[in-house]
Amino acid sequence: MTEGTGAMRGRWKAIAAVAVSGMLAVSGCGGGDDKDTSGDKSEVEVFSWWTGPGEADGLAAMKADFEKKNPGTKFTNAAIAGGSGTQAQAVLASRLQNRKPPDSFQGHAGAELLDYIKAGQIEPLDSFYQENNLRAAYPAQLLEQITYNGKIYSVPVNIHRSNVLWYNPKIVQEAGLSGPPKSVAEFITALKAVKDKTKKVPLSLGAQWTADHLLESVLLGDLGTDAYNALWKPGADWSGPAVTKALTDFAEIMKYTTVEAASTDWQGAAKAVVDGKAAFNIMGDWAYGYFTGAAPNGLGKKLDEDFKYAASPGTDGTYMWLSDSFTLPKGAPHKGGALAWLKEASSKEGQDLFNPKKGSIPARKDADKSLYKGYLEYAFNEWNKPGVKLAGSFWHGVNANKKWHTDIDTAVGLFLQNKDVGKLQSALSTAAENSGS
């Protein structure tokens, strides 16, 4: 998952001004031999963690289209299984350290790539963008949010949305609610109503990272897009009263979550909603594919009957985004093949083949809207809506470097034990100060 905004002490050019740094620290200085491989299209090794249902099918569809367009190029799928790419990133770090890069590798657009950039392990793609007219194909806000020192280093394939509220319509009705809450204050009132009037869990939560995921939506919902994005600027003030209010609301919301949160990952927490055991869950839109997909990997549930969706409370009109993207490693053994793959990944055809199967929407503006049904039609329209605001997901690789990301996670973990809002805010303020951004 994808899948960066802001100004790293004035060096980032970003419309939403969200600081970008790396999710995975890697060492080494560049990769591969110095020989020119720019014309070598004999092969392309594509490294990813797309091995699960939907994403593997989408990759296979892109592979088939790539091979049709590049009949002389051998495609090697170097995908490695593991949740959120953890295992793949560890293998990749070792390969880059040993100067044996793949021809192209997957990474979340934005912060996750900064360590690679600083280590000189991936190449800028500005000439590639120019040659393929990609600046016109991608939304300007997105390009500005993934630009570092005036250069672009990745090709976004898709867009996921982090700030989605999934809810059970029957439980919401049973609690006497007219619909999904539209603000954080309404959300707290709705959670209380569910607790008081039903025997169901108000808000299902999973492993600790799902609390981090919840936190970013509450911050966005209370602060608004501009103030949320400002939190990731150098020198941002995390100690002010607006953040205090948001963290206080977060603490109140946490009172209505499941007791067994630490033992369940996102799938179990999301499943509680469609199974009629919980009223609400805030999770990224990859949950939709899990809900509606066929067994054994999906739940086979029906939209509007078993579940509904809305923007997380207070965030309607803002797309909290993350994106899977591909890179050009320094010293790629088959650079010509890598560039051909990047052309496929950035193309309208490639993105329209991949995303309906993955359960995401294309990053391009000119995709075929008719291919995106149900929730994906809604997401497509929201992403392409005139005036939509973008906010980066800190948890999913967009706007906090590895150290910052880890420090926030540590602060949230301590809060889950002590429930002390003051200590949480102090820890978050310190994390921002020490982020190195």
Q: What is the pLDDT of residues 188-217, one digit of tens each?
A: 999 999 999 998 999 999 888 999 999 999
Give me the pLDDT at residue 186, please: 98
pLDDT in tens, 25-65: 333 333 344 556 677 999 999 999 998 878 888 999 999 99
In a domain, 339, yes or no: yes
Buried/exposed code over 331-348 (b: 16+ C-beta within 10 A; e: otherwise): bbbbbbbbbbbbbbbbbe
Q: Is 368 a member of any domain? A: yes
Is the same domain home to 278 and 418? yes
In this prediction, residue 234 carries a pLDDT of 87
Q: Kindly state whether residues 175 and 149 are assigned to the same domain.
A: no
Q: 2: pLDDT confidence band, cut at 50, 70 and 90? A: very low
% pLDDT > 90, the chain: 71
pLDDT digits (tens, 9 = 90+) for 222-271: 999 999 999 998 889 999 999 999 999 999 999 999 866 556 788 899 99
Q: Indicate if 236 and 369 belong to the same structural domain.
A: no
pLDDT category of residue 436 using cuts at 50, 70 and 90: confident
Question: Which of 324, 329, 321 lies closest to 125, judged by CA?
Answer: 329
Same domain, 143 and 172: no
Residue 58: HSE in the Cβ half-sphere, 13 Å Cα cutoff: 28
Dihedral pair phi/psi, residue 308, rounded to 5°:
-135, 175
Statement to judge: residues 329 and 273 lie in one domain: no
Averaged over 301-310, what is the pLDDT? 97
pLDDT on residue 83: 58
Predicted local confidence at residue 36, as pLDDT: 64
**pLDDT at residue 30, as a whole number:** 36
CATH number (domain holding residue 268): 3.40.190.10
Domain count along the chain: 2
Q: Is the pLDDT of residue 108 over 50?
A: yes
Q: At residue 13, does pLDDT exceed 60?
A: no
296 and 309, same domain (yes or no): yes
Give the model's confidence band at 10: pLDDT under 50 very low, under 70 low, under 90 confident, else very high: very low
Q: Could you tell me how many helices (H) and strands (E) the chain has, helices first?
A: 18, 15
Could you tell me the sign of the dihedral formed by the alpha carbons of 328, 49, 358, 381, in that order? negative
- Check the CA dihedral 312-395-56-41 and report its sign: positive
Q: Which domain, by its residues, includes 228?
A: 164-319+401-433
pTM: 0.85
What is the rounded average pLDDT for all residues in the chain?
A: 89
Q: Looking at residue 39, what is its pLDDT? A: 79
| Residue (of 280, 399, 416) closest to 2 by Cα position | 399
* Whether residue 285 sits in one domain with residue 189: yes
Any idea which of 290-294, 299-303, 315-319 has the lowest mean pLDDT?
Answer: 290-294
Do 168 and 87 belong to one domain?
no
